[in-house]
Structure 1
Amino acid sequence: MRKITIFDTTLRDGEQSPGCSMHITEKLEIAMALERMRVDVIEAGFAVTSQGDFEAVSKIAAQVKESTVCSLARAVTKDIDMAYEALKQAQSPRIHTFLATSPIHMEYKLKMSPEKVLQTIGDMVRYAKTKISDIEFSAEDASRSERDFLVKAVATAIEAGATVINIPDTVGYATPMEMFDLITYLRNHVHGIENVTLSVHCHDDLGLAVANSLAAVRAGADQIECAVNGLGERAGNAALEEVVMGIQTRKDFYQCMTGIDTTRISTTSKLVYNTLGLPIPINKAIVGANAFAHEAGIHQHGVLANRKTYEIMTPQSIGLLQNQMVFGKHSGRHAIEKRLNEMGYELDKAELDDLMERFKQLADRKRSINDSDLEALVTKQTMYIENGYRLDRFTVNCGNYITSNAVVRLKDGEKLVEAVAIGDGPIDAAYKAIDMLIEAPPHILDDYSIFSVTEGNDALGEVIVRIKSGDKTVTGRGLSTDIIESSIIAYINGLNRLL
Structure 2
Amino acid sequence: MLNHPEKKYKRFQAIALPDRTWPNRLITAPPIWMSTDLRDGNQSLIEPMSVAKKLKMFQQLVKIGFKEIEVAFPSASDTDFDFVRSLIEQNLIPDDVTIEILTQSREDLIRRSVESLRGARRAIVHLYNPIAENFRRIVFNADRVEIKELAMQGTRLIKEITQTMPETEWVFQYSPETFSAAEPDFALEICDAVSAIWQPSAEQKMIINLPATVEMSTPNIYADQIEWMHRHLARREQIILSIHPHNDRGTAVAAAELAVMAGAQRVEGCLFGNGERTGNVDLVTLALNLYSQGIHPGLDFSDIDEVRSVVEYCNQLPVHPRHPYAGDLVFTAFSGSHQDAIKKGLAQQQPNTWWEVPYLPVDPDDLNRGYDAVIRVNSQSGKGGVSYILQQEHGIDLPRRLQIEFSRVIQRYTDQTGKEATADIIYHLFKTEYLDIEQPYRYRSHNCSNNPLQSFESDASLVEIDIVLEHQQQVRQILGCGNGPIEAFINGLELEMQVVDYHEHALGSGAQAEAICYMELKIGQHRPFFGIGIDRNSSVAALKSIVNGLNRGGVELGADGLLIASVEVLG
Structure 1 length-normalised TM: 0.66
Shift of 1:387: 6.1
Cα distance in 1 for partners of 2:181, 2:150 equals 20
Identify the range of structure 1 (75-84 vs 284-293) with the bigger mean alpha-carbon deviation: 75-84
Cα distance in 2 for partners of 1:26, 1:479 equals 26
Matched, 1:298 2:384: no
Greater RCO (CA < 8 Å, at least 6 residues apart): 1
Shift of 1:225: 0.6
Cα distance in 1 for partners of 2:458, 2:300 equals 30
Deviations 1:372-407 (A, max 9, x none): xxxxxxxxxx99735626475799xxxxxxxxxxxx
Q: How many residues align?
A: 371
Pick aligned residue for 2:93 from 58, 64, 72:
64
Pick aligned residue for 1:104 from 122, 130, 134:
134
How has the CA–CA distance of structure 1 residues 460 and 268 changed in structure 2, closer, same or farther, with 3 Å as cutoff? farther
Pick aligned residue for 2:308 from 263, 269, 290:
269
Cα distance in 2 for partners of 1:298, 1:366 equals 43
How has the CA–CA distance of structure 1 residues 67 and 452 changed in structure 2, closer, same or farther, with 3 Å as cutoff? same
Alignment gaps of 5+ in structure 1: 325-363, 368-381, 396-409, 414-423, 429-448, 466-476, 486-499
Shift of 1:480: 2.4
Q: Is the 8 A contact 2:458 2:483 kept in 1?
A: no
Cα distance in 1 for partners of 2:240, 2:105 equals 19
Identify the range of structure 1 (272-281 vs 38-47) with the bigger mean alpha-carbon deviation: 272-281
Q: Is the 8 A contact 1:459 1:481 kept in 2?
A: no
Q: Is the 8 A contact 2:517 2:542 kept in 1?
A: no
Cα distance in 1 for partners of 2:42, 2:217 equals 23
Shift of 1:270: 1.6
How has the CA–CA distance of structure 1 residues 45 and 323 changed in structure 2, closer, same or farther, with 3 Å as cutoff? same
How has the CA–CA distance of structure 1 residues 304 and 366 changed in structure 2, closer, same or farther, with 3 Å as cutoff? farther
Q: Is the 8 A contact 2:516 2:533 kept in 1?
A: no
Shift of 1:15: 1.2
Pick aligned residue for 1:313 from 351, 356, 362:
362
Q: Is the 8 A contact 1:365 1:458 kept in 2?
A: no
Cα distance in 1 for partners of 2:278, 2:226 equals 23
Q: What is the DSSP-based 3-state SS (H/G/I as helix, E as strand, rest coil) of the residue aligned with 1:73?
A: strand
Q: Is the 8 A contact 2:52 2:456 kept in 1?
A: no
Q: Is the 8 A contact 1:4 1:257 kept in 2?
A: no
Match of 1:45 in 2: 72
Identify the range of structure 1 (144-153 vs 301-310) with the bigger mean alpha-carbon deviation: 301-310
Pick aligned residue for 1:146 from 167, 177, 183:
183
Matched, 1:218 2:261: yes
Match of 1:183 in 2: 226
Shift of 1:220: 1.3
Shift of 1:150: 0.7
Cα distance in 1 for partners of 2:230, 2:462 equals 55
Shift of 1:188: 1.4
Cα distance in 2 for partners of 1:87, 1:452 equals 43
Match of 1:127 in 2: 157
Alignment gaps of 5+ in structure 2: 1-27, 163-168, 201-205, 347-356, 374-436, 441-454, 469-480, 485-509, 522-528, 548-571
Q: What is the DSSP-based 3-state SS (H/G/I as helix, E as strand, rest coil) of the residue aligned with 1:310?
A: coil
Q: Is the 8 A contact 1:168 1:201 kept in 2?
A: yes
Match of 1:196 in 2: 239
Cα distance in 2 for partners of 1:127, 1:31 equals 29
Q: What is the DSSP-based 3-state SS (H/G/I as helix, E as strand, rest coil) of the residue aligned with 2:531?
A: coil
Matched, 1:32 2:59: yes
Matched, 1:156 2:221: no
Q: What is the DSSP-based 3-state SS (H/G/I as helix, E as strand, rest coil) of the residue aligned with 2:103?
A: strand
Cα distance in 1 for partners of 2:467, 2:278 equals 40
Q: What amino acid is the match of 1:272?
A: V
Cα distance in 2 for partners of 1:170, 1:31 equals 24
Deviations 1:349-384 (A, max 9, x none): xxxxxxxxxxxxxxx9999xxxxxxxxxxxxxx997
Q: What amino acid is the match of 1:234?
A: R
How has the CA–CA distance of structure 1 residues 188 and 69 changed in structure 2, closer, same or farther, with 3 Å as cutoff? same
Deviations 1:450-485 (A, max 9, x none): 874549983379xxx9xxxxxxxxxxx9992558x9
Q: What is the DSSP-based 3-state SS (H/G/I as helix, E as strand, rest coil) of the residue aligned with 1:63?
A: coil
Matched, 1:258 2:297: yes
Matched, 1:385 2:458: yes
Deviations 1:21-64 (A, max 9, x none): 11101101110110111112111010001100111122234412
Shift of 1:277: 2.9
User: Max radius of gyration: which structure?
Assistant: 2
Shift of 1:118: 1.5
Q: Is the 8 A contact 2:179 2:213 kept in 1?
A: yes
Match of 2:272 in 1: 229
Match of 2:542 in 1: 480
How has the CA–CA distance of structure 1 residues 67 and 412 changed in structure 2, closer, same or farther, with 3 Å as cutoff? closer
Q: Is the 8 A contact 2:68 2:100 kept in 1?
A: yes
How has the CA–CA distance of structure 1 residues 321 and 301 changed in structure 2, closer, same or farther, with 3 Å as cutoff? closer
Q: What amino acid is the match of 1:15?
A: N
Q: What amino acid is the match of 2:223?
A: F
Deviations 1:235-280 (A, max 9, x none): 11111101111222235xxxx7632123144322220102333333
Q: What is the DSSP-based 3-state SS (H/G/I as helix, E as strand, rest coil) of the residue aligned with 1:224?
A: strand
Deviations 1:194-240 (A, max 9, x none): 32111111111111111111111111101111101211111111111
Q: What amino acid is the match of 1:27?
A: K
Cα distance in 2 for partners of 1:60, 1:478 equals 38
Pick aligned residue for 2:48 from 1, 21, 25:
21
Match of 1:360 in 2: none
Q: Is the 8 A contact 2:365 2:371 kept in 1?
A: yes
How has the CA–CA distance of structure 1 residues 451 and 88 changed in structure 2, closer, same or farther, with 3 Å as cutoff? farther
How has the CA–CA distance of structure 1 residues 200 and 457 changed in structure 2, closer, same or farther, with 3 Å as cutoff? closer
Pick aligned residue for 1:240 from 273, 277, 283:
283
